[in-house]
Structure 1
Amino acid sequence: MADDPSLESPVFESPVVANYPMSSGGDLTLADVSATTKWLVRADADGPAADQLGAAFGTSQVAAGGALVLGSRPCEWIVLGTSEEVSAAVTGLEQLEGLDASDFVSALDWTHGRALFRVTGRGAARMLEKVCSLDWSDPMTPDGAVASASVAKVTCDIARNDADGAPSYLIFCDRSFGQYLFDALIDAGDEFSVSVVAAAT
Protein backbone atom coordinates (compact mmCIF):
# COMPACT_ATOMS: atom_id res chain seq x y z
CA MET A 1 0.00 0.00 0.00
CA ALA A 2 2.70 2.48 1.04
CA ASP A 3 4.55 2.00 -2.27
CA ASP A 4 1.46 2.65 -4.40
CA PRO A 5 2.32 5.79 -6.47
CA SER A 6 -1.39 6.65 -6.73
CA LEU A 7 -1.34 7.44 -2.99
CA GLU A 8 1.44 10.03 -3.21
CA SER A 9 0.53 13.69 -2.68
CA PRO A 10 0.48 15.74 -5.88
CA VAL A 11 3.11 18.41 -6.43
CA PHE A 12 1.98 21.61 -4.70
CA GLU A 13 0.61 24.34 -6.92
CA SER A 14 -0.16 27.75 -5.44
CA PRO A 15 -3.81 28.85 -5.45
CA VAL A 16 -2.58 32.32 -6.42
CA VAL A 17 -1.42 33.72 -9.73
CA ALA A 18 0.51 36.77 -8.55
CA ASN A 19 0.17 39.18 -11.45
CA TYR A 20 2.17 41.80 -9.57
CA PRO A 21 5.83 42.77 -9.87
CA MET A 22 7.91 41.02 -7.21
CA SER A 23 10.00 43.17 -4.89
CA SER A 24 12.93 42.58 -2.59
CA GLY A 25 10.85 44.10 0.20
CA GLY A 26 9.87 47.36 1.85
CA ASP A 27 8.15 48.67 4.96
CA LEU A 28 5.11 46.47 4.28
CA THR A 29 5.24 43.15 2.44
CA LEU A 30 2.83 40.41 1.36
CA ALA A 31 4.02 36.90 0.55
CA ASP A 32 2.18 33.81 -0.68
CA VAL A 33 3.43 31.07 1.65
CA SER A 34 0.72 28.56 0.74
CA ALA A 35 3.30 25.82 0.06
CA THR A 36 4.09 25.66 3.78
CA THR A 37 3.11 22.23 5.14
CA LYS A 38 -0.11 22.61 7.14
CA TRP A 39 -1.96 20.01 9.24
CA LEU A 40 -5.21 20.27 11.17
CA VAL A 41 -5.35 18.32 14.43
CA ARG A 42 -8.51 17.70 16.43
CA ALA A 43 -8.31 16.23 19.92
CA ASP A 44 -9.84 16.43 23.38
CA ALA A 45 -8.90 19.73 25.03
CA ASP A 46 -7.75 18.01 28.23
CA GLY A 47 -6.20 14.87 26.71
CA PRO A 48 -2.57 13.84 26.19
CA ALA A 49 -2.54 15.05 22.55
CA ALA A 50 -3.50 18.56 23.70
CA ASP A 51 -0.77 18.41 26.34
CA GLN A 52 1.81 17.45 23.72
CA LEU A 53 0.71 20.13 21.22
CA GLY A 54 0.88 22.68 24.00
CA ALA A 55 -0.70 25.77 22.46
CA ALA A 56 -3.85 26.82 24.30
CA PHE A 57 -6.87 28.14 22.38
CA GLY A 58 -6.06 31.59 20.98
CA THR A 59 -2.30 31.21 21.35
CA SER A 60 0.64 29.72 19.47
CA GLN A 61 3.98 28.20 20.33
CA VAL A 62 6.92 26.58 18.61
CA ALA A 63 7.09 22.80 19.11
CA ALA A 64 10.32 21.05 20.07
CA GLY A 65 10.92 20.01 16.43
CA GLY A 66 10.43 23.55 15.10
CA ALA A 67 6.82 23.47 13.87
CA LEU A 68 4.52 26.36 14.76
CA VAL A 69 1.43 25.12 16.63
CA LEU A 70 -1.66 27.35 16.62
CA GLY A 71 -4.54 26.84 19.05
CA SER A 72 -7.07 27.91 16.42
CA ARG A 73 -10.32 26.75 18.04
CA PRO A 74 -11.36 24.79 21.12
CA CYS A 75 -10.08 21.23 20.51
CA GLU A 76 -8.43 22.24 17.19
CA TRP A 77 -4.85 23.07 16.29
CA ILE A 78 -3.11 24.08 13.06
CA VAL A 79 0.47 22.83 12.80
CA LEU A 80 2.73 24.37 10.17
CA GLY A 81 6.34 24.42 9.09
CA THR A 82 8.55 22.27 6.89
CA SER A 83 7.29 18.76 6.21
CA GLU A 84 9.90 17.38 8.64
CA GLU A 85 8.94 19.83 11.41
CA VAL A 86 5.23 19.12 11.04
CA SER A 87 5.79 15.38 10.87
CA ALA A 88 7.75 15.51 14.13
CA ALA A 89 4.85 17.37 15.80
CA VAL A 90 1.94 15.22 14.61
CA THR A 91 3.42 11.73 14.33
CA GLY A 92 2.30 9.47 17.15
CA LEU A 93 -0.44 11.71 18.55
CA GLU A 94 -2.94 8.87 18.18
CA GLN A 95 -0.78 6.45 20.19
CA LEU A 96 0.25 8.65 23.12
CA GLU A 97 0.42 7.11 26.55
CA GLY A 98 -2.71 7.98 28.50
CA LEU A 99 -5.14 7.85 25.58
CA ASP A 100 -8.17 5.71 26.22
CA ALA A 101 -11.11 4.55 24.11
CA SER A 102 -13.08 7.74 24.82
CA ASP A 103 -10.30 10.08 23.61
CA PHE A 104 -10.57 11.40 20.05
CA VAL A 105 -7.54 12.39 17.97
CA SER A 106 -7.41 13.06 14.23
CA ALA A 107 -4.74 14.66 12.04
CA LEU A 108 -5.40 15.85 8.50
CA ASP A 109 -2.97 17.22 5.90
CA TRP A 110 -4.32 20.66 4.96
CA THR A 111 -1.42 21.72 2.75
CA HIS A 112 -3.26 21.58 -0.57
CA GLY A 113 -6.62 22.72 0.79
CA ARG A 114 -5.66 26.02 2.41
CA ALA A 115 -4.09 29.19 1.09
CA LEU A 116 -1.67 30.95 3.44
CA PHE A 117 -0.38 34.51 3.21
CA ARG A 118 2.08 36.47 5.37
CA VAL A 119 1.74 40.24 5.86
CA THR A 120 4.75 41.85 7.52
CA GLY A 121 5.67 45.41 8.48
CA ARG A 122 4.87 48.40 10.61
CA GLY A 123 1.73 49.14 8.59
CA ALA A 124 0.39 45.58 8.73
CA ALA A 125 -2.16 46.22 11.49
CA ARG A 126 -3.47 49.36 9.77
CA MET A 127 -3.74 47.45 6.49
CA LEU A 128 -5.70 44.64 8.15
CA GLU A 129 -8.01 47.13 9.90
CA LYS A 130 -9.36 47.99 6.45
CA VAL A 131 -10.60 44.46 5.78
CA CYS A 132 -11.11 42.93 9.25
CA SER A 133 -12.91 44.21 12.35
CA LEU A 134 -10.57 42.65 14.93
CA ASP A 135 -8.77 44.90 17.40
CA TRP A 136 -5.19 44.81 16.10
CA SER A 137 -3.64 46.72 19.01
CA ASP A 138 -0.75 45.03 20.81
CA PRO A 139 -2.71 44.41 24.05
CA MET A 140 -5.47 42.57 22.14
CA THR A 141 -3.44 40.77 19.47
CA PRO A 142 0.14 40.48 20.75
CA ASP A 143 2.79 38.34 19.12
CA GLY A 144 1.59 34.73 19.39
CA ALA A 145 -2.13 35.54 19.33
CA VAL A 146 -4.42 33.39 17.17
CA ALA A 147 -7.96 34.26 16.06
CA SER A 148 -10.66 33.41 13.55
CA ALA A 149 -12.35 36.27 11.75
CA SER A 150 -13.74 37.54 8.48
CA VAL A 151 -11.07 39.15 6.30
CA ALA A 152 -12.51 40.88 3.23
CA LYS A 153 -15.66 38.79 3.91
CA VAL A 154 -13.72 35.50 3.82
CA THR A 155 -13.62 33.28 6.92
CA CYS A 156 -9.97 33.07 7.94
CA ASP A 157 -7.65 31.88 10.68
CA ILE A 158 -5.10 34.54 11.62
CA ALA A 159 -1.95 34.22 13.70
CA ARG A 160 0.40 36.98 14.74
CA ASN A 161 3.90 35.65 14.24
CA ASP A 162 6.37 38.54 14.32
CA ALA A 163 9.45 38.29 12.12
CA ASP A 164 12.77 39.98 12.93
CA GLY A 165 11.05 42.35 15.35
CA ALA A 166 8.42 43.48 12.85
CA PRO A 167 4.68 42.76 13.24
CA SER A 168 3.79 39.84 10.98
CA TYR A 169 0.51 38.02 10.43
CA LEU A 170 -0.25 34.62 8.91
CA ILE A 171 -3.66 34.49 7.22
CA PHE A 172 -5.26 31.16 6.24
CA CYS A 173 -8.33 30.65 4.08
CA ASP A 174 -9.89 27.92 1.95
CA ARG A 175 -7.90 27.43 -1.24
CA SER A 176 -10.86 28.41 -3.42
CA PHE A 177 -10.81 31.95 -1.94
CA GLY A 178 -7.03 32.32 -2.24
CA GLN A 179 -6.84 34.47 -5.34
CA TYR A 180 -9.67 36.75 -4.23
CA LEU A 181 -8.17 37.25 -0.76
CA PHE A 182 -4.65 37.85 -2.11
CA ASP A 183 -6.01 40.53 -4.45
CA ALA A 184 -8.07 42.06 -1.62
CA LEU A 185 -4.97 42.29 0.58
CA ILE A 186 -3.04 43.96 -2.25
CA ASP A 187 -5.86 46.49 -2.59
CA ALA A 188 -5.98 47.12 1.18
CA GLY A 189 -2.22 47.62 1.28
CA ASP A 190 -1.99 49.93 -1.71
CA GLU A 191 -2.04 53.14 0.35
CA PHE A 192 0.76 51.73 2.50
CA SER A 193 2.91 50.86 -0.54
CA VAL A 194 2.70 47.10 0.07
CA SER A 195 5.25 45.04 -1.85
CA VAL A 196 4.69 41.48 -3.06
CA VAL A 197 7.71 39.41 -2.09
CA ALA A 198 8.75 35.82 -2.70
CA ALA A 199 8.20 33.35 0.10
CA ALA A 200 11.27 32.76 2.25
CA THR A 201 12.98 29.44 1.54
Structure 2
Amino acid sequence: MSDTAASPPLTRARTPLAHILAERGAHWRTLGDTAAATKLSTSPALDELAIVDLSPLPRIGFKGRGTIEAMRARGLLVEAEPNRLFPQDDGSLCLVLAPSEVLILSAFDGNESRFSEWEQTFRLDDEECTYPLPRRDSHAWLAVTGRRAPAMFAKLCGVDLRLGKFPNHAIAQTSVARINAIVARSDRGETPVFHLLADIASALYLSSCLLDAAREYGGEFAGLDRLESLT
Protein backbone atom coordinates (compact mmCIF):
# COMPACT_ATOMS: atom_id res chain seq x y z
CA MET A 1 0.00 0.00 0.00
CA SER A 2 2.14 2.86 -1.26
CA ASP A 3 1.36 6.53 -0.69
CA THR A 4 0.60 8.79 -3.64
CA ALA A 5 0.35 12.59 -3.81
CA ALA A 6 -2.66 13.51 -5.93
CA SER A 7 -6.39 13.91 -5.80
CA PRO A 8 -8.06 11.15 -3.82
CA PRO A 9 -7.88 7.88 -5.80
CA LEU A 10 -11.06 6.60 -7.37
CA THR A 11 -12.35 4.14 -4.82
CA ARG A 12 -15.80 2.82 -3.96
CA ALA A 13 -15.85 4.68 -0.65
CA ARG A 14 -14.36 8.09 0.09
CA THR A 15 -13.92 10.10 3.26
CA PRO A 16 -16.34 13.04 3.41
CA LEU A 17 -13.31 15.26 4.11
CA ALA A 18 -11.49 14.27 0.91
CA HIS A 19 -11.46 17.72 -0.73
CA ILE A 20 -10.38 19.45 2.51
CA LEU A 21 -7.41 17.08 2.79
CA ALA A 22 -6.58 17.32 -0.92
CA GLU A 23 -6.33 21.10 -0.55
CA ARG A 24 -3.65 20.45 2.09
CA GLY A 25 -1.48 18.42 -0.28
CA ALA A 26 -2.57 14.99 0.93
CA HIS A 27 -0.68 11.83 0.04
CA TRP A 28 -3.15 8.95 -0.13
CA ARG A 29 -2.80 5.34 0.96
CA THR A 30 -5.25 2.85 -0.49
CA LEU A 31 -6.99 0.80 2.18
CA GLY A 32 -9.28 -1.81 0.67
CA ASP A 33 -12.10 0.03 -1.07
CA THR A 34 -11.10 3.48 0.19
CA ALA A 35 -8.03 5.66 0.84
CA ALA A 36 -6.64 7.54 3.83
CA ALA A 37 -4.68 10.81 3.83
CA THR A 38 -1.25 9.99 5.22
CA LYS A 39 0.98 13.01 4.67
CA LEU A 40 -0.25 16.62 4.50
CA SER A 41 1.52 19.88 3.74
CA THR A 42 0.24 21.19 7.08
CA SER A 43 2.42 20.11 9.98
CA PRO A 44 0.95 20.98 13.39
CA ALA A 45 2.59 19.62 16.52
CA LEU A 46 0.62 16.53 17.51
CA ASP A 47 1.62 16.94 21.15
CA GLU A 48 0.07 20.44 21.07
CA LEU A 49 -3.05 20.17 18.87
CA ALA A 50 -3.85 18.40 15.62
CA ILE A 51 -6.85 16.84 13.86
CA VAL A 52 -6.51 13.56 11.94
CA ASP A 53 -9.17 12.08 9.67
CA LEU A 54 -9.67 8.39 10.45
CA SER A 55 -12.98 8.00 8.62
CA PRO A 56 -11.52 5.63 5.97
CA LEU A 57 -10.53 3.07 8.62
CA PRO A 58 -12.81 0.10 9.44
CA ARG A 59 -15.22 0.19 12.36
CA ILE A 60 -18.24 -1.83 13.37
CA GLY A 61 -20.82 -1.87 16.14
CA PHE A 62 -22.71 -4.63 17.88
CA LYS A 63 -25.90 -4.26 19.91
CA GLY A 64 -28.10 -6.57 21.97
CA ARG A 65 -28.26 -8.06 25.45
CA GLY A 66 -25.71 -10.74 24.56
CA THR A 67 -23.17 -8.35 23.06
CA ILE A 68 -20.42 -8.55 25.69
CA GLU A 69 -20.46 -12.34 25.68
CA ALA A 70 -20.45 -12.38 21.87
CA MET A 71 -17.43 -10.06 21.79
CA ARG A 72 -15.52 -12.25 24.22
CA ALA A 73 -16.32 -15.25 22.03
CA ARG A 74 -14.68 -13.36 19.16
CA GLY A 75 -11.50 -12.89 21.17
CA LEU A 76 -11.98 -9.33 22.41
CA LEU A 77 -10.81 -8.26 25.85
CA VAL A 78 -13.81 -6.40 27.22
CA GLU A 79 -15.93 -5.90 30.32
CA ALA A 80 -19.54 -4.80 30.74
CA GLU A 81 -18.47 -1.36 31.94
CA PRO A 82 -20.35 1.45 30.15
CA ASN A 83 -18.45 4.48 28.86
CA ARG A 84 -15.15 2.64 29.01
CA LEU A 85 -12.64 1.98 26.22
CA PHE A 86 -10.73 -1.31 26.11
CA PRO A 87 -7.53 -1.37 23.98
CA GLN A 88 -6.90 -4.65 22.17
CA ASP A 89 -3.59 -6.43 21.57
CA ASP A 90 -3.73 -5.76 17.80
CA GLY A 91 -4.10 -1.98 18.26
CA SER A 92 -7.86 -1.86 17.77
CA LEU A 93 -10.16 -0.26 20.34
CA CYS A 94 -13.39 -1.60 21.81
CA LEU A 95 -15.70 1.12 23.12
CA VAL A 96 -18.42 -0.06 25.51
CA LEU A 97 -21.25 2.44 25.10
CA ALA A 98 -23.70 0.41 27.21
CA PRO A 99 -23.83 -3.13 28.63
CA SER A 100 -25.63 -4.05 25.39
CA GLU A 101 -23.66 -2.00 22.83
CA VAL A 102 -20.06 -1.75 21.67
CA LEU A 103 -18.23 0.11 18.92
CA ILE A 104 -14.98 -1.39 17.62
CA LEU A 105 -12.37 0.81 15.89
CA SER A 106 -9.62 -0.74 13.81
CA ALA A 107 -5.91 -0.29 14.31
CA PHE A 108 -4.30 2.46 12.25
CA ASP A 109 -3.04 -0.05 9.65
CA GLY A 110 -6.64 -0.33 8.41
CA ASN A 111 -6.65 -4.14 8.45
CA GLU A 112 -10.28 -5.03 7.92
CA SER A 113 -10.00 -8.81 7.69
CA ARG A 114 -11.45 -9.42 11.14
CA PHE A 115 -14.23 -6.87 10.60
CA SER A 116 -15.16 -8.45 7.25
CA GLU A 117 -15.17 -11.90 8.83
CA TRP A 118 -17.53 -10.74 11.57
CA GLU A 119 -19.91 -9.24 9.04
CA GLN A 120 -19.82 -12.18 6.63
CA THR A 121 -20.10 -14.96 9.21
CA PHE A 122 -22.73 -13.38 11.45
CA ARG A 123 -25.95 -15.41 11.51
CA LEU A 124 -29.17 -14.67 13.35
CA ASP A 125 -29.64 -18.42 13.67
CA ASP A 126 -26.69 -18.55 16.08
CA GLU A 127 -28.94 -16.85 18.67
CA GLU A 128 -26.14 -14.81 20.22
CA CYS A 129 -28.57 -12.03 21.22
CA THR A 130 -26.52 -9.42 19.39
CA TYR A 131 -26.41 -8.01 15.86
CA PRO A 132 -23.87 -5.95 13.87
CA LEU A 133 -24.24 -2.25 13.04
CA PRO A 134 -22.46 -0.73 9.99
CA ARG A 135 -20.79 2.13 11.84
CA ARG A 136 -18.47 2.94 8.96
CA ASP A 137 -21.53 4.11 7.03
CA SER A 138 -23.10 6.02 9.90
CA HIS A 139 -20.22 7.62 11.82
CA ALA A 140 -17.36 9.87 10.76
CA TRP A 141 -14.19 9.25 12.78
CA LEU A 142 -11.65 11.92 13.72
CA ALA A 143 -8.77 11.94 16.18
CA VAL A 144 -7.90 15.14 18.05
CA THR A 145 -4.45 15.04 19.63
CA GLY A 146 -2.39 17.13 22.00
CA ARG A 147 -2.39 18.79 25.39
CA ARG A 148 -4.39 21.75 24.05
CA ALA A 149 -7.23 19.53 22.86
CA PRO A 150 -9.27 19.87 26.10
CA ALA A 151 -9.12 23.68 25.85
CA MET A 152 -10.33 23.49 22.26
CA PHE A 153 -13.15 21.10 23.17
CA ALA A 154 -14.23 23.48 25.95
CA LYS A 155 -15.41 25.84 23.20
CA LEU A 156 -17.56 23.14 21.57
CA CYS A 157 -18.52 20.59 24.22
CA GLY A 158 -20.16 20.81 27.66
CA VAL A 159 -18.23 17.85 29.11
CA ASP A 160 -15.06 18.68 31.01
CA LEU A 161 -12.33 16.91 29.01
CA ARG A 162 -9.38 18.25 30.96
CA LEU A 163 -6.78 15.54 31.36
CA GLY A 164 -7.17 15.42 35.15
CA LYS A 165 -10.96 15.15 34.94
CA PHE A 166 -11.41 12.88 31.91
CA PRO A 167 -9.00 9.96 32.37
CA ASN A 168 -7.42 7.81 29.70
CA HIS A 169 -9.87 5.19 28.31
CA ALA A 170 -12.93 7.21 29.41
CA ILE A 171 -15.86 7.78 27.03
CA ALA A 172 -18.36 10.65 26.91
CA GLN A 173 -21.56 10.39 24.90
CA THR A 174 -22.30 14.06 24.49
CA SER A 175 -22.75 16.93 22.03
CA VAL A 176 -19.89 18.54 20.12
CA ALA A 177 -20.72 21.66 18.11
CA ARG A 178 -24.39 20.79 18.75
CA ILE A 179 -24.04 17.36 17.12
CA ASN A 180 -24.50 14.12 19.03
CA ALA A 181 -21.04 12.62 19.37
CA ILE A 182 -18.90 10.05 21.11
CA VAL A 183 -15.58 11.21 22.58
CA ALA A 184 -13.18 8.49 23.71
CA ARG A 185 -9.70 9.10 25.09
CA SER A 186 -6.91 6.66 24.16
CA ASP A 187 -3.48 8.24 24.51
CA ARG A 188 -0.47 7.36 22.35
CA GLY A 189 2.57 7.39 24.60
CA GLU A 190 2.69 10.79 26.30
CA THR A 191 0.35 12.41 23.77
CA PRO A 192 -3.36 12.74 24.63
CA VAL A 193 -5.60 11.41 21.85
CA PHE A 194 -9.36 11.93 21.73
CA HIS A 195 -11.31 9.83 19.23
CA LEU A 196 -14.40 11.67 18.03
CA LEU A 197 -17.27 9.88 16.28
CA ALA A 198 -20.37 11.65 14.97
CA ASP A 199 -22.99 11.55 12.22
CA ILE A 200 -21.13 11.15 8.93
CA ALA A 201 -23.62 13.42 7.16
CA SER A 202 -22.44 16.27 9.40
CA ALA A 203 -18.71 15.58 8.98
CA LEU A 204 -17.95 18.71 6.95
CA TYR A 205 -19.76 20.96 9.40
CA LEU A 206 -18.12 19.30 12.39
CA SER A 207 -14.64 19.49 10.88
CA SER A 208 -15.08 23.18 10.10
CA CYS A 209 -16.11 23.85 13.71
CA LEU A 210 -13.14 21.87 15.01
CA LEU A 211 -10.72 23.64 12.69
CA ASP A 212 -12.06 27.08 13.61
CA ALA A 213 -11.68 26.30 17.31
CA ALA A 214 -8.27 24.66 16.86
CA ARG A 215 -6.65 27.54 15.01
CA GLU A 216 -6.69 29.66 18.16
CA TYR A 217 -4.20 27.14 19.59
CA GLY A 218 -2.15 26.59 16.42
CA GLY A 219 -4.03 23.42 15.48
CA GLU A 220 -4.57 22.09 11.95
CA PHE A 221 -5.17 18.83 10.08
CA ALA A 222 -2.35 16.28 10.13
CA GLY A 223 -1.85 13.04 8.22
CA LEU A 224 -2.35 9.50 9.46
CA ASP A 225 1.39 8.84 9.32
CA ARG A 226 1.99 11.42 12.07
CA LEU A 227 -0.48 9.67 14.34
CA GLU A 228 1.08 6.27 13.59
CA SER A 229 4.47 7.65 14.61
CA LEU A 230 3.32 8.37 18.16
CA THR A 231 4.41 5.66 20.56
Aligned equivalents of 1:119, 1:141: Cα separation in 2: 14
Q: What is the TM-score with the length of structure 1 in the denominator?
A: 0.80
- Tell me if structure 2 keeps the 8 A contact 1:142–1:160: yes
- Specify the alignment match of 2:16 in structure 1: 15
- Tell me if structure 2 keeps the 8 A contact 1:94–1:105: no
Structure 2: 5+ residue stretches without partners:
1-10, 25-40
Identity of aligned residues (%): 23
Alignment partner of 1:87 is 2:115: yes
- Tell me if structure 1 keeps the 8 A contact 2:60–2:115: no
Helix, strand or coil for the counterpart of 1:141?
coil
- Specify the alignment match of 1:33 in structure 2: 54
Considering Cα pairs closer than 8 Å and 6+ residues apart, tell me whether 1 or 2 has the greater RCO.
1
Instruction: Please show how residues 20-99 of structure 1 align to structure 2 within 5 Å.
Output: 21=24, 22-26=41-45, 27-44=48-65, 48-52=69-73, 53=76, 54-55=78-79, 56-81=81-106, 82-84=110-112, 86-87=114-115, 90=118
- Tell me if structure 2 keeps the 8 A contact 1:43–1:49: no
Aligned equivalents of 1:93, 1:139: Cα separation in 2: 42
- Tell me if structure 2 keeps the 8 A contact 1:43–1:50: no
Q: What is the TM-score with the length of structure 2 in the denominator?
A: 0.71
Distance 1:122 1:85, change over 3 A: farther
Helix, strand or coil for the counterpart of 1:112?
helix
Distance 1:145 1:180, change over 3 A: same
Amino acid at match of 1:31: V
**Count of residue pairs brought into register by the alignment:** 188
Distance 1:92 1:65, change over 3 A: farther
> Structure 1 residue 11: deviation in Å?
2.2
> Structure 1 residue 177: deviation in Å?
0.4
Moved more, 80-89 or 33-42: 80-89
The CA RMSD over aligned residues, in Å, is: 2.8
